[in-house]
Amino acid sequence: MTTASPLTLSPIVAGLWRIAEWKLDVAARVRWIEQALALGITSFDHADIYGDYQAEALFGEALKAAPSLRARMQLVSKCGIRLRSAQRPYRLSHYDTSAGYVRAQVEQSLRNLHTDRLDLVLIHRPDYLMDAAALADTFVALTREGKVAHWGVSNHSASQFALLHQHHPLATNQIELSPLAMDALDDGTLDQAQQLGLRPMIWSPLAGGRLFTGEDAQAMRVRTEMEAIAGRLGISLTTLAFAWVLRHPSRPHPITGSGRLESLREAVAALDVHLEPEDWYAIWTASKGHPVP
């Protein structure tokens, strides 16, 4: 089996989960993409279900209006969730990694994004009914047809990743990590990423905004500690949060969630910040509420 060239993503990835909420017209979406590219953010993270199945099409309208942008970026999408909504009146939300569904969603993403190839497609959540060998065959077919360059997963445990990786090479596991969500440090997924030399993608590095607005004890402890460190380093809380994620030796790609240009700048600024272990562990300790064992 021929293999594609190694996957290359920008150090910071732009997340498009909330693009529908940004209320940008097509021209403004084009400008936003151009501004992200100017900051060195060339990878754009989508999923078929984002924005009630509408987000990819909004981004695709911008690419249709300015087709030269496509060659300057990497398009990432996800599939495998049948999300019950007005768009898809399923009896209930469920997972589906059957050949027919994965193919249908990939081809719909291609149409939505006005492109003939996706640089990376992730299986969005572990499907308990997944037939790993059959899914690998689907990957091979869509790759052979030139529709997908690389495959990966999202939110998969180390064993779930290993099962599928045994049948077809995976490029990444997109997982949650932030100063308020640290399970990946202990559940083996980041260890596996280092072991295999496959850089993970990180969703919600700002804990969905809890870092700034959370009133629970954990969020307040972490915010107090991080504000002190950020003040000493002369950086924003956003920059510090991204720097904390980037400090992990698995060399993760954190994903932004905001459409604000300033938020993108703050995320990119983290690439120039090197946290000392003591500061990294000070945030860990504040999050856990106890010192290291």
Dump pLDDT digits (tens) for 256-273.
999 999 999 999 999 999
Inside any domain, residue 247: no
pLDDT(4) > 70? no
pTM for the full predicted model: 0.96
**Of the residues 50, 90, 101, 128, which is catalytic?**
50
Rounded to an integer, the average pLDDT of 134-142 is: 98
Inside any domain, residue 112: yes
Inside any domain, residue 68: yes
Inside any domain, residue 7: no
**Angle 99-113/55-65 helices, nearest 10 degrees?**
40
pLDDT(100) > 80? yes
pLDDT(174) > 70? yes
The confidence band for 105, taking pLDDT boundaries of 50, 70 and 90, is very high
Rounded to an integer, the average pLDDT of 102-110 is: 98
pLDDT(222) > 70? yes
DSSP output for 196-238: HT-PPEEE-TTGGGHHHH--SHHHHHHHHHHHHHHHHHT--HH
Question: Is residue 53 flagged as an active site residue?
Answer: no
Inside any domain, residue 283: no
pLDDT(2) > 80? no
The confidence band for 128, taking pLDDT boundaries of 50, 70 and 90, is very high
Inside any domain, residue 110: yes
The mean pLDDT of the chain is 97
Identity of residue 200:
P
| Per-residue confidence (pLDDT) for residue 1, from 0 to 100 | 39
Dump pLDDT digits (tens) for 58-83.
999 999 999 999 999 999 999 999 99
Rounded to an integer, the average pLDDT of 206-230 is: 98
| Per-residue confidence (pLDDT) for residue 87, from 0 to 100 | 84
The CATH number of the domain holding residue 46 is 3.20.20.100
The confidence band for 275, taking pLDDT boundaries of 50, 70 and 90, is very high
The confidence band for 227, taking pLDDT boundaries of 50, 70 and 90, is very high
Look at the chain and report how many structural domains it folds into: 1
Inside any domain, residue 221: no
Inside any domain, residue 200: no
DSSP output for 102-142: HHHHHHHHHHHHT-S-BSEEEE-S--TT--HHHHHHHHHHH
Dump pLDDT digits (tens) for 25-59.
999 999 999 999 999 999 999 999 999 999 999 99
| Per-residue confidence (pLDDT) for residue 6, from 0 to 100 | 84
Rounded to an integer, the average pLDDT of 91-111 is: 98
| Per-residue confidence (pLDDT) for residue 5, from 0 to 100 | 76
| Range of the structural domain that residue 133 is part of | 13-171
Structure-token pair, residue 272: 């120039």
Q: Residue 290 gets which letter from DSSP?
A: S
